[in-house]
A = this chain, B = another copy of it.
Amino acid sequence: MAKTAKKTTAIGVDIGGGSVKLGLVSSDGKLLARSSFLTPRKTKHHFLDVLCAHIRDLQATARQRGLAISGVGVGAPGAIDVERGFVYFFPNIDGWENTPLKQILQTHLRLPVFVDNDANAMALAESYFGAGKKAKSMIALTLGTGIGGGMVFEGKLFHGSHFSAAEMGHLIINENGPLCACGTRGCVEAYVGTSYFVREIEKRLKKNKKSILHKWLKQGKKLSPQLVGEAARAGDALSGQMWRDVGQKLGTALTGLINILNPDTIVIGGGIAENWPLLYKPLVRTLNKKAFPIAARSVKVVRAKMGQEAGLIGAAALAFTAKNK
């Protein structure tokens, strides 16, 4: 008798500057098998060979377990034409300019392939399986060196007219503010990104000799949002104020965002969000003070749930979403 109810899976590929992660993912978001390799730096041709070999291994795994594969989803770190699965460029991996990735992979693998940028894949993971599961309109932000993000409205990623939507880090909150890496003044990323955070706390430490951070730095600890979080939790006034300021800046950016988009859920992940209570309280206080009352009351701000695997599982979700269209 033929198996009529094969469990559906998809293969997710998360291309990073350092490594490429792959996973066989079930349609309920479980990681059933995985592999990875260091991002090949020689030629794109070689990269694609290794990638296809890893995907074929996962195909074999699925076959052995009697699992159907509905497609391959790729989350990639760069500018993508999502409709064509075409890579314009990867800022941190050379040689990928103008690569028809979807077409190449489909030819080699004989499976439907879907390509999107990594921030959108992460947002989709939270929307399908994580903190935004019940959301009708969700905005996800990942706070790291920069701010990445994605928006999922009624189960679909919002890409904009040329697939460059959701640059959340580049909402301007102070036209006279510090210079952002993008060249514009006062983007929220210039206040909340890790590197600004560290520079700013260094500046404040010069004026404040009482902070416990001075002692910790002498002990060889490294200045980071995490360390400033520890200090804040230990009652260090300077560190507490720094986190309040960061939460307030992010809250000001989200005020604009929710006044425009009126989402029901904002999901926040990434390194900075690991200090959740320190970030959350001033952020929500700011939202409630500054945003339109209906918009502020409509929205829940929650912490991301999918962790390190968000990119991988979200990439697989690209194949599931496309199927549901």
Contacts and interface: CB of A to CB of B under 8 A. Distances in A.
Nearest to A168: B260
Interface in A274-325: 289-292, 294-295, 297-299
A137 B164 contact: no
Contacts of A162: 262, 264, 294-295, 297-298
A180 to B, nearest CB: 10
A164 B292 CA distance: 9
Interface string A205-229: 0000000000000000000000000
Contact of A171 (B159, B160, B167, B259): B259
A264 B160 CA distance: 8
Contact of A259 (B137, B158, B167, B173): B167
A165 B261 contact: yes
A167 B183 CA distance: 27
Interface string A162-193: 11111110111111100000111010000000
A258 to B, nearest CB: 8
B260 A165 contact: yes
B262 A163 contact: yes
A24 interface: no
A166 B165 CA distance: 16
Nearest to A253: B172
A162 B160 CA distance: 22
Q: Which residue among A171, A172, A173, A261 has the maximum number of chain B CB atoms within 10 Å of its CB?
A: A172
A128 to B, nearest CB: 18
Contact of A172 (B137, B167, B170, B290): B290
Interface of A: 79, 136-137, 153, 158-168, 170-176, 182-184, 186, 249, 252-253, 255-257, 259-264, 289-292, 294-295, 297-299
